[in-house]
Amino acid sequence: MIVVLKLGVAQEIVDKLARRIEEMGLKAHVIVGTERTVIAAIGEKRNGEQQTLESYEEVDKVIPILAPYKVASLEIKSEPTIVRVRDLVIGGGHVGVIGGPCSVESEEQIMQVAVQIKAAGATGLRGGAFKPRTSPYSFQGMKEEGLKLLAAAGEMTGLATVTEVMTPGHVDLVTKYADVLQIGARNMQNYHLLQAVGEVDKPVLLKRGPSATIDEFLLAAEYILDQGNSQVILCERGIRTFESHTRFTLPLATIPYLQSRTHLPIVADPSHGTGIASLVPPMSVAAVAVGADGLLLEVHPDPPKAISDGAQSLTPEQFVDTMVRCRKVADVLERTLG
Ligand code: PEP
Ligand code: MN
């Protein structure tokens, strides 16, 4: 339920009502909007709660939330959620661009690419240190050493770092080094992992599972939000279809559709979405055109030599060109990009 408070209710009353909601066995999420404060009262439906809450003088009305996801829903919060880390801003008219290699491979590689994408206007640096690979025999990432190199490249350039965390046992370690925790597509329904990153005070970039429906995607985000972490960025990275010419199928309609359902920002990942470097620039432009709040792009100083995902990685020069093209579209739409 959404407990809509009257205008100008004092903070102590908001806290008192939130405590009362918790005593009823529900979870209270206080959402302060520019106009009003609402409290989302989340939990299993029982009888009588709506009337009880409506009886408080400070409560304007109590509205049931119809969507299966609650805190992620636009019904609760109509203003867009904006995630800010260092100079990376995602949402609310800002198109945040995160570039970098699939995997951190060496100090030279990550430093070089960080400097190059920064010069092209990116504000986020990606790089996997723990890699979810289809085959157990493929490179599994540089692990903590990779996290250190990524953090050092972030420090040197001021770029916000984004890297994947694969298991609840690594959440503390990855949180120590990275600015944004990525949940990979394969882990979108790893509920214990979602809950673990929900307890962290850092943004989470949640990738859509290749066969997840939009409701399942939003319910996965809900697991994170439900633990109190409100900084969730959704990422459309392509789904599995019968088509085999591209690695995945990148459904860009997901972006405006999600924007009609949730206040959370949505970034597009045309690198994994297509698997083919030449398709990444046009799909990036298209993603910005349909209103993406950000882009996640794989960039490697020398793609043919990349240990993972070289075929879909842009060269630094291609990245510069992609930025120029995307910025033109962003300008027309009166959005900032970078
Ligand atoms: C990645 O970002 O390198 C990655 C492994 O992505 P996904 O989880 O979308 O496959
Ligand atoms: Mn990759």
Q: What is the pLDDT of residues 247-259, one digit of tens each?
A: 999 999 999 999 9
Phi, psi of 322, rounded to the nearest 5 degrees: -65, -40
Residue 10 has pLDDT above 80, yes or no: yes
Question: What is the reported pLDDT for 47?
Answer: 77
For 44, list phi and psi in degrees, rounded to 5.
-70, 140
Task: State the average pLDDT over residues 146-159.
Answer: 98
What mean pLDDT value characterizes the chain?
96
Which of 216, 141, 132, 127 minimizes the C-alpha distance to 179? 127
Q: Is the CB of 128 under 6 A from ligand 1?
A: yes
The pLDDT value recorded for residue 44 is 82
pLDDT band for 317, please (50, 70, 90 cuts): very high
- How far apart are the CA of 118 and the centre of ligand 2, in A? 20
- Taking the centre of ligand 2 as the mean of its atom positions, its distance from the CA of residue 23, in whole angstroms, is 45
- Sequence letter at residue 214: I
Q: Once rounded to an integer, what is the mean pLDDT over residues 153-169?
A: 98
The DSSP 8-state label assigned to residue 80 in this structure reads: P
Is residue 91 pLDDT above 80, yes or no? Answer: yes
Mean pLDDT of 81-95: 98
> Which of 215, 258, 213 lies closest to 234 in space, CA to CA?
258
Q: Which helix (H) or strand (E) holds 214?
A: helix 214-226
Helix boundaries (H) for 29-97: 49-54
193 pLDDT tier (thresholds 50, 70, 90): very high
Using a 6 Å cutoff on CB, does residue 124 contact ligand 1? no
- Residue 34 — pLDDT band, cuts 50, 70, 90? confident
At residue 60, φ and ψ (nearest 5 deg) are: -80, -55
Predicted confidence at residue 146, as pLDDT, reads 98
Q: Which residues are CB-contacts of 152 (< 8 A; sequence separation ≥ 6)? A: 107, 111
Name the residue with the closest Cα to ligand 1, atom 10. 185
pLDDT at site 129? 98
Where does the pLDDT of residue 33 fall: very low under 50, low under 70, confident under 90, or very high at 90 and above? Answer: confident
| pLDDT recorded at residue 308 | 96
- Split at pLDDT 50, 70, 90, the class of 118 is very high
Query: Locate tokens 């996965």: which residue?
Result: 220
Give the distance (Å) from ligand 2 centre to CA of residue 326: 21
From ligand 2's centre to the CA of 99, what distance in Å? 11
Q: Tell me if 272 CB under 6 Å of ligand 1.
A: yes
94 lines ligand 1 (CB under 6 A): no
Q: How far apart are CA 148 and CA 141, in angstroms?
A: 12
Instruction: Please identify every residue whose CB atom is under 5 Å from ligand 2, which is an ion.
Output: 102, 309
Tell me which ligand sits closest to the C-alpha of residue 190: 1
**In the structure, what pLDDT confidence band is assigned to residue 46 with cuts at 50, 70 and 90?**
confident
Tokens representing residue 51 in the block: 């009337």
